[in-house]
Structure 1
């Protein structure tokens, strides 16, 4: 999924925000944004997905400002915040009539914690969304297909998105392991810090590595570009019976691959609300094969 002008403007604003956050001199700001603008006008970006473009821009900024750990504090903040809620979330799921539905509702709601797609992530908004998880509506036909495919599959690759959110992924995976004891689950996280995306260190800190195999994808792109990730992870995805890919960045980098991937995310920007003809923070569950077939 190639980036459009809205994505490019968003990527540039992210660079501006980081430069402001680090209070750089006007000279450095001018130099960095000049290089960013030069990159955004180059022919290279024509076939790039927005997350790949974002990774390039972050690299340009990092050369002058060293922003690799720019999101370290909010990542830790939301990891700890969601860990503090884990027992209550699990208890709510266990008391629900449909544990699978309740768990996936929590998992998709956690996709709100996205410092890449949004300028302002608010704890109050997150709390409201989580409180209303029972009202989360996902495509019933797609939900039934996912349920059936999981019961028949032997291997699942679960591709995560953000820190904090990964705690709710952990809860969902716990439920999947309860319901599908035959299923071999492998979790894929980002290879290096980028925005507030979850890395192996995040997975380890929230206890996810204690319940399932977790593998870094070998790239700092806030998505899963198949031609750039570690070949072992590419083989893992290629050979899985099905994948669940969380977040807009994974959709943008994987859409069009034609694999059996279920995308799960909240629409958080104008591009996605227009594409899926819905309102902001609406949850989406779509399968890659049926998107391609209906295109």
Structure 2
């Protein structure tokens, strides 16, 4: 997906917010924003650059002067703890559901709300309401059927995570996948370095996911999975695996068009996505890459 003016403005606003958060002087702020504007307006690459890759470039510009590697450390830990406290109740709710798979994937996609990259504000109250109403989450029934069928037939699955906090609900979903499809060899891929509030290996370890499955960092600080920039081992894994589940808008933006057998799972949280999918904000989406490519 090519970046447009909506993405450009969003990335710049995110940089401005970080500069304000760190109390950067007006002089330094002006210098950095001029550099960012120059990058956005004059770098020809931005026309074909997915928003997550663009965001990583902008964060690196800010980090040179400000040092923002820990910008989202506190909210990441906060939401990891918050969701871990809810984990037992979530599991209990899934186990009493008529369709455990559906309940688990509903929780997993709802967790995608915890996104400090796509949104200016993450509300605990809104998260609570969304989780309370998980049974009302509607996903494309054809895609659900296709995903279940492919999971039954597959031997290997790569699960690409998105955000901290959300990763706890991914862990719960993965537990259900292991229970329902015991033949599956599951590998989880996380971000290679801290970026926004995306989940890293440290987050996976923190919430106990590394005790459940093999977890691999992708080797990049892009808030997505740019296939040409991730480490060769992870790329080979994605190339050879039977199917992938990729969480979040950033993974969709960087993997869409790759032609691999990927099921995208996310909430539409920004104007670009609500427009693309012709839907309202926070609408859940489950789409298979091959189906999207064939219908494009």
User: Would you call these one fold, judging by a TM-score over 0.5?
Assistant: yes
* Partner Cα separation in structure 2 for residue 51 and residue 130 of structure 1: 26
Contact 2:260 2:290 in 1 (8 A): yes
Map 1:82-101 to 2 at 5 A.
82-101=83-102
**Match of 2:9?**
9
Once residues 193 and 159 of structure 1 are traced to their aligned partners in structure 2, the CA distance between those partners, rounded to angstroms, is 15
Q: Alpha-carbon deviations, 1:230-267, whole Å to 9, x = none? A: 01000000001000000000000000001100000000
Number of the residue aligned with 1:257: 258
Query: 2:130 matched to which residue of 1?
Result: 129
Q: Pairwise mapping of residues 242-281 of structure 1 onto structure 2 (< 5 A)? A: 242-281=243-282
Q: Distance in 2 between matches of 1:211 and 1:114?
A: 24
Distance 1:241 1:287 in 2: 13
Q: How does 1:91-240 map to 2 (within 5 A)?
A: 91-240=92-241
After the TM superposition, which residues 73-84 of structure 1 pair with which residues of structure 2 at under 5 Å, given as runs?
73-84=74-85
Find the residue that maps to 1:119 and give its secondary structure.
coil
* 1:44 shift after superposition: 2.1
Whether 1:23 and 2:43 are equivalent positions in the alignment is: no
Please give the root-mean-square deviation of Cα atoms over the aligned residues, in Å: 0.4
How many angstroms does 1:46 deviate by? 1.8
How far off is 1:45 after superposition?
Answer: 1.1
Question: Is the Cα–Cα contact under 8 Å of residues 191 and 198 in structure 2 kept in the other structure?
Answer: yes
Looking at structure 2, the residues matched to 138 and 229 of structure 1 have their Cα atoms a distance apart, in angstroms, of 30
For 1:2 and 1:207, how far apart are their aligned partners in 2?
36
Q: Which position in structure 1 is the counterpart of 2:35? A: 35
Report the secondary structure of 1:265's partner residue: strand
**Structure 1: gaps spanning 5 or more residues:** none
TM score, norm. by length of structure 1: 1.00
Deviation at 1:212, TM superposition (A): 0.3
Secondary structure of the 2:226 match is: coil
**TM-score of the two chains, using structure 2 as the length reference:** 0.99
3-state SS in 1 of match to 2:90:
helix
The Cα shift of 1:2 comes to 1.4
Q: Partners in 2 of 1:219 and 1:280 — Cα distance?
A: 29
Secondary structure of the corresponding residue to residue 186 of structure 1: strand
State the alpha-carbon separation in 2 of the partners of residues 114 and 47 from structure 1.
24
Question: Could you tell me how far apart the structure 1 residues matched to 2:262 and 2:121 are?
Answer: 29
Match of 1:264, SS state, is strand
Aligned residue pairs total 295
Shift in Å, 1:40: 0.3
> Unpaired runs of 5+ in structure 2?
none
Cα contact 2:76–2:165 (8 A) shared by 1:
yes
Residues 110 and 284, structure 2, Cα contact 8 Å, conserved in 1: yes
In the TM superposition, structure 1's runs of 4+ consecutive aligned residues that sit over 3 Å from their partners are none
